Amino acid sequence: MKKSKLINTQLSLAIARLGHGQALTIGDCGLPISEKTQRIDLALTHGVPGFMETLDVVLTEQQVEEVVIAEELATVSPALFEQLTARIAQLEQDQDRDVTLTMVSHETFKTLSDESLAVVRTGECTPYANIILRSGVVF
């Protein structure tokens, strides 16, 4: 049995498959997911699992060099935006390297998420609670 926090087989495999520059998207329950992109559906009901708790577990496994979010998050869901930016700052300390924060329109975000290796669907219902995590390297 794995020792790390992440025990979901599909999600663990998706992260293990990521190469440098490839992306994993974590989305709220309303984010459209392309038929061509692997869907990892964790949603049980509204709010379960939540966006931040899912992100926190993923970040225990994935090396991240860039984070992409919709610029609308800052104005529509400012509390989540603040949580997220604090978590990115903590991630930089944990990884001992910078993490680029890229903000794009929600429409651009949806297009970029289609290019992800996989999209993780959570039960989150907070508007614009979506993130693309572009992988870095551990060396």
Walk along the chain (139 residues) and give the pLDDT tens digit of each residue: 777 899 999 999 999 999 999 999 999 999 999 999 999 999 999 999 999 999 999 999 999 999 999 999 999 999 999 999 999 999 999 999 999 999 999 999 999 999 999 999 999 999 999 999 999 999 9
Q: Which residues are catalytic?
A: 20
Of 27, 29, 94, nearest in space to 59 by CA: 94
Q: Rounded to two decimals, what is the model's pTM?
A: 0.96
CA distances from 127 to 24, 88, 119 (A): 19, 19, 17
Cα Rg of the chain (Å, integer): 14
Which contiguous run of DSSP H or E holds residue 87? Answer: helix 78-95
Q: CATH number for the 20-135 domain, one of 3.40.1650.10, 3.40.50.300, 3.90.25.10, 3.30.930.10? A: 3.40.1650.10
Q: CA-to-CA distance for 129 and 87, rounded, in angstroms? A: 14
Q: CA-to-CA distance for 58 and 5, rounded, in angstroms? A: 9
